[in-house]
Chains A and B, each alone.
Chain A
Amino acid sequence: MIRSRNPRIDVDDLERRIDAELARDPDAPGSDERLARLAATVHARAIESQLNFAEQRSTPRATWPVDLRVPLISSSERLKKAVLSIMSLAFRDQYEANNALIRSQREMLALVQTLLERIDTLEARLEAERATTRAQRIAQRVIPSVVEGPGEG
């Protein structure tokens, strides 16, 4: 994934160190709440971007790729069209499977986002309840401003 022509850099060692850094899981529980949320947002966006890319490529081709040169076929529009039709037919099941997978991934992503929102709501509710409880406790501990003395008998 990375490279360098700097003779003083050991790229393989650097790759291992990157893996080690990532293995330490900076998103693990206990880390900063705000950062964890930011990281989740970035993960979600990365998945979304990959799904968009997959979706673009998951439909049958209607045009011949410009960089694909096959003798005889490339020079004939009719042959190109025929090959594309055959390919489309042959991989029809695969396209459907791909589309189903992409849809399910999108559902999964939506579910994850719903769960994240739900966690936020629950956290907020929990925090509110904690605050209420704390307020009640404080109220119970309040010393009356007027202390009555012993009654005269």
Chain B
Amino acid sequence: MRLALVTPWYGRELIGGAERLAWELAHALVRAGAEVEVLTTCCRSFLDDWASNYHRNGTSRDAAGVVLRRFPVDTRDRVAFNRANTALTTMPRIGLHGDRNVLDPVQTRAFVGENINSRALLSHLQEHGSSYDAVIFVPYLYGPTLAGVPLVADRAFLIPCLHDEAYAYVEPVRAAFAAVRGVLFNSAGEEETATAIYGPGVLAKSRVIGHAVEPVPPPPTPMSVGSFAPHRSRYVLYLGRQDPSKNIDFLIEAFRTFRERRVATSLQLVLAGPRSSTHTGDGILDLGAVSEGAKAALLTYARALAQPSMHESFSRAIYEAWYARRPVLVHGECRATARAVEDAGGGWIGTTLEDWVRMFAVVDESADEAVDALGARGWAAALDNGTWDVVARRTVEAIAMRLAPPAGPRIENLVPLGDARVARYAQSLTEALNASGADAAVSIAGSARTRPNARTVAHVVASSAPVPADIYVAHDGELPALTQGRPVFAASHAIAAQLEEAGIVARVLPQAVSPAQWAGMRPAHERWADGKPVLLSIAPLGADEARRLLDTFVAYLAFERDARLLVFAADCEGDAYETLLHERAELDLHTEVVVVGEAPAERYAAYRAATVALAVGRPLSIESAVTPLWFDLPIVALGDVTVLETIEACGIVADTFDARRIAALLRIVSSDVRLRAAMIGEGRRVRARYAPAAVATALLEQLGVVQPAPSPLAGVEGVR
């Protein structure tokens, strides 16, 4: 595989996160057998003048086999760029959400046009871009990426190193994310950040490749750092640049508050990293920049590591602490670090100052065994994260899958005539199989149109005529006779349970629900994204259910006076639409209750604006239940068969309808950050079961086309 890696600055000596990633990944990709050319500028580093050429332009090859092509940078208007950059860096966080554009066209042009740029590099991409199998851009926010992606979009892969900052909301950045063939993330949290900003369409072309961190070996004997003896101290360690952008002031304030409340504590906060001013005092020890040996000693003997930054796509310090089996404290508003800790269970997550004060108290008071146990969990996660060679392998696999998935078998989905529900299921399965490389199609059972040499999947209901097939998918609890002895899947857990009662063991093959339909979509408008609480009705409605929905909304208005209710017109069955409009008029809720049209961009705007999804109507389809989960929406629903399979595992189910109680529940769900995080977090696990790749893989495994994937931790001692 011939790969180009485009990055604005490149060199072994560079210490920035993206620069280190580019260097390490380029070499790991070569070790993985790829031909790698790094396309970069002659500018020395991020800290130098972006219009100044330090390195000589031209091509060279290093000992490892990485080909390096350097191109001269262009002259630029620094003032215009700085004006746009200042507008972005001083933008209040509250202005950053979803689909909102943050810069006017003039400043946007300045941000892209006066960024670090190289016309020579772009010319090379234009002329020779097609000679590479894939072009990898690292990171997202500089000229070579923003201007280079459109030139090779069909083979462009982005390693964005993204975090939730104003740059991510600039229109050309959105365009780059929409245009690339694939997005490769450093962490699951980074992927979540991208989903929140660009919508769930990103998930259809993304893959988490990880980010390797080398373990820091502990010192052979206890060592002191200046006059500080780590092995004789109780301290929480901060490791890294002591910079306001890393939220260091918040950390210090939280620790000072903790010390004021616990005067007798022996717990210290040790700061280690380059800084512009010292922070020593009140139990805080500022060591400044430290050597690798000192860093190892500090990590080894720390009680925990604090990472207060809110702007990380991946935190090396966290993994270094976990390799040293120390737990970590992270900020809840940084998805990348919070998600890593949440998944690993290797520490604590806090958002407010009070949370952090409490976390320090827990670190101070907990038994050593309890702290060590959390550190051990982190250690397991660090092992799972793997080395650069593992990251390179994942990168190559992800690129190969996106460019040309391995050709799979010819598969025919046979459906009974006239059953729309089964046909929809078979169609989504066909699309999932084709996305995984198979050549799948749907045809009517018994028709003469079945293609030769095709493996057959028969979708059957109790009344289906017997049809021979390789695999059967049962769509109700009874099976026609011919299926005996053949592998059987059930279309849902309820059907699997019914089949089990009849003595038939069937694996569940759920309907695939893909986020790909939302890829590259922009909302029709932003009228509903004005910060008011928005309830989104997701269930089909009859006339009675429409009244029930409005009753719930009116009760909710008593808690949230500015709330809005969005109802999909397509969900209104029979005379529900007329009832809804009539009741809306009678209750004088014209501005609060909005009927959403059927245009995809309108539906997208509704999902993106919603605060909570609500289902108090008729039974849900799998698609209606799972789609809100792709938009990270918490769901409150009345129980039905689909809800039990999907929403109950992550959301909240009401057994009986009581408008006021459901309204009170909606109020709690819409305002409680922790509860929302718990619902959204589990929702991500639930939706993964319905991802096309997961559904297709289950079927292809049964057909013997692919082998079940081994656990990444298989064989690692002490990890199950």
Instruction: Give A residues with C-beta under 8 Å from B.
Output: 1-9, 11, 14, 17-18, 21-22, 26-27, 31-32, 34-35, 38-39, 41-42, 45-46
Contacts and interface: CB of A to CB of B under 8 A. Distances in A.
Given A1-B661, A9-B679, A39 B558 contact: yes
Given A1-B654, A14-B668, A22-B660, A39 B682 contact: no
A4 B558 contact: no
A39 to B, nearest CB: 6
Nearest to A9: B678
A17 B668 contact: yes
A16 to B, nearest CB: 11
The 6 closest A-B pairs by CB, nearest first: A26-B558, A8-B678, A21-B664, A18-B664, A6-B682, A38-B554
B653 interface: yes
Interface stretch (B307-315, B365-373, B622-630, B643-651): B643-651
Interface in B533-549: 547
30 contacts: A1-B654, A1-B655, A1-B658, A2-B652, A2-B654, A2-B655, A4-B648, A4-B650, A5-B649, A6-B678, A6-B679, A6-B682, A8-B678, A9-B675, A18-B661, A18-B668, A21-B667, A21-B668, A22-B660, A22-B664, A26-B558, A32-B561, A35-B558, A38-B587, A39-B554, A39-B558, A42-B551, A42-B659, A45-B547, A46-B659
Contacts of B655: 1-3
Contacts of B653: 2-4
Contacts of A27: 558
Contacts of A22: 660-661, 664
Interface string B671-695: 0000100110110000000000000
Given A31-B558, A39-B555, A41-B554, A2 B675 contact: no
A4 B557 contact: no
Contacts of B656: 1
B717 interface: no
Given A22-B661, A38-B554, A4 B547 contact: no
A7 B679 CA distance: 10
Nearest to A31: B558
Interface of chain B, main secondary structure: helix
B559 interface: yes
A44 to B, nearest CB: 11
A109 B589 CA distance: 24
A47 to B, nearest CB: 12
Interface in B294-315: none
Nearest to B658: A1
A106 B439 CA distance: 65
B154 to A, nearest CB: 41
Contact of B681 (A8, A11, A18, A34): A8
Interface residues of B, number: 33
B104 interface: no
Given A3-B655, A9-B652, A27-B558, 18 more contacts: A1-B655, A1-B658, A2-B653, A4-B648, A5-B649, A6-B649, A6-B650, A6-B679, A9-B678, A14-B665, A14-B668, A17-B668, A21-B559, A21-B667, A22-B660, A38-B587, A42-B659, A45-B551
A42 B665 contact: no
Contact of A2 (B650, B660, B665): B665
Contact of B665 (A7, A18, A32, A39): A18
Contacts of B678: 6, 8-9
B588 interface: yes
B561 to A, nearest CB: 6
Contact of A5 (B551, B588, B648, B665): B648
Contacts of A31: 558
Nearest to A6: B682
A8 B342 CA distance: 11
Interface string B558-583: 11010000000000000000000000
Contacts of A2: 652-655, 665
Nearest to B653: A3
A6 B561 contact: no
A7 B648 CA distance: 11
A17 to B, nearest CB: 6
A39 B554 CA distance: 6
A49 to B, nearest CB: 9
Contacts of B660: 22
A30 B679 CA distance: 34
A35 B661 contact: no
A38 B682 CA distance: 36
A39 B561 CA distance: 12
A45 to B, nearest CB: 6
Contact of A35 (B561, B650, B665, B681): B561
A26 B654 contact: no
A1 B551 CA distance: 18
Interface string B387-403: 00000000000000000
B3 to A, nearest CB: 41
Nearest to A34: B588
Interface string B579-605: 000000001110000000000000000
A14 B652 CA distance: 10
Contacts of A5: 648-649
A14 B674 CA distance: 12
A13 B651 CA distance: 15
Contacts of B682: 6-8
A121 B648 CA distance: 48
Nearest to A8: B678
A36 B422 CA distance: 47
Contact of B652 (A4, A42, A46): A4
Nearest to B668: A17
A14 B655 CA distance: 14
A87 B24 CA distance: 85
